[in-house]
């Protein structure tokens, strides 16, 4: 089966921006390793995000805070090696950009130089304006991230929907406009009311990519482990599971254990 965007022309920031103009939705998923990235790229995904959610789903941490810049670069290198068409965006992890714009720039340069990725993503609005400006000035494409920003979980206290109140919603709209004016090429909107996401999408030129932000945005992103049903307990309203891999892998593993214990694996054909 072929999709609208499945031909092997590399996806760039220009492709992504043109998709908004044409009204073609952008499909983004996270990836952290070579094998998975290869499957997603071959399927025709537009953007692969090496998200700091690797801290949760790959390393088993409760939050995204512990993952380091070196670890993000390791994941990004593995993804970049697999990709022929998709654009690869890498999260700047917690602690790699908040101190000041010089630190932010040197972290972004390390990601681009050492992994071969195509862009970076960082969380926040006006608080990180100077850092975004400097990274962009170095020629590195930046994807913004507003709404629920998991690196600030200890400030928020919970992972509930953000910007339901007027003041926070207004700041989010202003931040989105700022990201647009600075020259970011896209912006993730995480867990905000659908009406607000629609308003933001219509107020800015750059594409918005939603996660728990409704349908009236320019694209969607999900964490691959959630979308494939590997993470069993995580069941937010916005999540659509396309497989139940936890159960399927569990059953396959039980069948393998059984075959080994009963001497049924390997059989005559499976040996030399």
Catalogue the active-site residues. Answer: 190
13/55 with CB nearer ligand KIV: 55
Picking from 172, 176, 122, 174, the residue whose alpha carbon sits closest to that of residue 147 is 172
- 20, 27, 29, 30: which one contacts ligand KIV (CB under 6 A)? 30
Q: Is the peptide bond before 208 cis (omega within 30 degrees of 0)?
A: no
> How far is 186 from 205, CA to CA, in rounded Å?
9
Q: Is 36 in the site for ligand KIV (CB under 6 A)?
A: no
44/147 with CB nearer ligand KIV: 147
- 44, 51, 124, 210: which one contacts ligand KIV (CB under 6 A)? 51
Phi, psi (degrees; rounded to nearest 5) at 50: -85, 85
* Interface segment toward ligand KIV; rule CB under 6 A; list 45-53, 160-168, 191-199, 253-261: 45-53
Residue nearest to ligand KIV (CB): 51
Residue position matching structure tokens 């494939």 = 228
Q: Is 46 in the site for ligand KIV (CB under 6 A)?
A: no
Nearest distance from residue 131's CB to ligand KIV, in Å? 17
37/49 with CB nearer ligand KIV: 49
Q: Is 52 in the site for ligand KIV (CB under 6 A)?
A: yes
Contacts of 271 by beta carbon, 8 Å cutoff, 6+ apart = none
Residue 87, classed as helix, strand or coil, is strand
Tokens for 178? 């700022």
Residue 261, classed as helix, strand or coil, is helix
191/265 with CB nearer ligand KIV: 191
Q: Which of residues 173-212 bind ligand KIV (CB under 6 A)?
A: 188, 190, 211
Site string for ligand KIV, 67-96 (x = CB under 6 A): ------------------------x-----
* Interface segment toward ligand KIV; rule CB under 6 A; list 48-56, 126-134, 192-200, 257-265: 48-56
Interaxial angle between packed helices 101-115 and 69-82, expressed in degrees from 0 to 180 and rounded to the nearest 10: 30
- First-residue to last-residue Cα distance in the chain: 38
Q: How many chain residues touch ligand KIV (CB under 6 A)? A: 11
Contacts of 146 by beta carbon, 8 Å cutoff, 6+ apart = 123, 124, 125, 172, 175, 176, 179, 187, 188, 189, 190, 192, 200
Q: Which residues bind ligand KIV (CB under 6 A)?
A: 30, 49, 51-53, 91, 188, 190, 211, 221, 223
């Amino acid at each position: 089966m072929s999709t609208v965007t499945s031909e092997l022309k590399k996806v760039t920031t220009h492709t992504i921006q043109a998709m908004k103009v044409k009204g073609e939705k952008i499909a983004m998923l996270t990836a952290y390793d070579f094998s998975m990235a290869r499957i997603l790229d071959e399927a025709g995904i537009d953007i692969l995000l090496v998200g700091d959610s690797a801290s949760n789903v790959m390393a088993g941490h409760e939050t995204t805070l512990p993952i380091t810049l070196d670890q993000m670069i390791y994941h990004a290198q593995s993804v970049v090696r697999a990709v022929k068409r998709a654009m690869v965006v890498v999260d700047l992890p917690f602690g790699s950009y908040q101190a000041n714009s010089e630190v932010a720039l040197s972290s972004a340069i390390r990601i681009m130089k050492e992994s071969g990725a195509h862009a970076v993503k960082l969380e926040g609005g006006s608080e990180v304006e100077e850092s975004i400006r400097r990274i962009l000035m170095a020629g590195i494409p930046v994807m913004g991230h507003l709404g629920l920003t998991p690196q600030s979980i200890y400030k928020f206290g919970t992972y509930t929907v953000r910007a339901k109140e007027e003041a926070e919603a207004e700041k989010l709209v202003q931040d989105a406009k700022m990201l647009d004016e600075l020259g970011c090429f896209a912006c993730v909107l995480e867990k905000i009311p659908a009406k607000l996401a629609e308003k933001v999408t219509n107020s800015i030129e750059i594409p918005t990519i939603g996660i728990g932000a409704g349908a009236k945005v320019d694209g969607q992103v999900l964490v691959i482990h959630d979308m494939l049903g590997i993470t069993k307990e995580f069941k937010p309203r916005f999540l659509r599971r396309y497989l139940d891999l936890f159960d399927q892998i569990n059953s396959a593993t039980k069948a393998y254990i059984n075959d080994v214990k009963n001497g049924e694996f390997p059989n005559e054909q499976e040996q030399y």
